[in-house]
Structure 1
Amino acid sequence: MARTVSTNTTVDRDGMLDFVRPRHRMLVATTRADGRPQMSPVSGGVDDLGRIVISTYPGRAKTRNAERRSAASVLVLSDDWNDAWIQVDGDAEVLHMPEAADALVDYYRSISGEHPDWQEYRAAMAIQNKSLLRITPTRWSPISTGGFPADVAARLDGA
């Protein structure tokens, strides 16, 4: 039986954004005060300016960390566990209410499309005191898939 061979496909900024836009399962990594990484599973989208957007709360570790140090990384996963992924590194900014209101609308649209009642949505975001992480990509990995390195797969298939 042929082995699955890992792949790495280098993409430009547009290719990276095309890959990320339909995928909303992400892990965001920020840096704790002691220098160690802090990771959180999140839902995210891409706004009209090509920034990764993530809804959060002011007191969450990822929010506090991004306010202290803007460097952040996002691992964007496909819906199927063994499918492709990409790591996007960038600079994070944090928006809090009420400044975050319009950006939270953009966040919602990037994931779910139009809301049936934007006034209701904005009110809910205000009541919840939501915040938004907005990460401007500065570099990214190739789009990758798991599997064996090609030379290992060939040796295993020949065995």
Structure 2
Amino acid sequence: MSQNGNKQIDPSLRYFFEDKNLAFVATLMKDGSPQITPTWVDIDNENRILINTALGRIKQKNVTRDPRVAISIVDRNNPYHMITIRGEVIEQITGEQADKHIDKMAKKYLNKDKYPFGTSGEKRVLLKIRPIKVSSI
């Protein structure tokens, strides 16, 4: 199954984002080379992909300069089933919304009510990604 253009995520593929699957998020470094990070992933009601990170981290700096991203998610229950997305970061949300979201992700992935890995002075940022091309097998 493949979809092209400015796309929504097909409802049959939302489980990739709703289950405890890790997403591998690729961004572009200043010199154009790729950088990839495994991370927690979420999807909102508008089918925007959500990645929570901290201000100043490499992927956050990269998408501020160049909003293009590629994301790959493998079904943790069937490694031969996967989805890839090319998209762009359309918004970076900080403050209470980003803080609440990282706690939601900690509950989903770790079954903890509060994100346990935060550091003093860390500011969370929620990257909202618009899918442009979606492919799955």
- What TM-score do you get using the length of structure 2 for normalisation? 0.73
Does 2:129 align with 1:135?
yes
SS in 1 for 2:14: helix
Structure 1 outlier segments of 4+, above 4 Å: 113-116, 124-127
Does 2:11 align with 1:26?
no
* Contact 2:52–2:101 (8 Å) recurs in 1: no
1:135 CA drift (Å): 1.0
Identity %: 22
How many aligned positions are there? 128
* Contact 2:98–2:125 (8 Å) recurs in 1: no
CA RMSD, Structure 1 to Structure 2 (Å): 3.0
Between Structure 1 and Structure 2, the one with more helix by share is: 1
Task: Measure the CA separation in 1 of the matches of 2:94 and 2:46.
Answer: 20
Superposition pairs of residues 36-115 of structure 1, within 5 angstroms: 36-80=33-77, 82-93=79-90, 95=92, 97-98=94-95, 101-106=96-101, 108-109=103-104, 112=107
Deviations along 1:48-87, one digit per CA (max 9) or x if unpaired, are 2211111111111110000001111111122147331110
- What TM-score do you get using the length of structure 1 for normalisation? 0.64
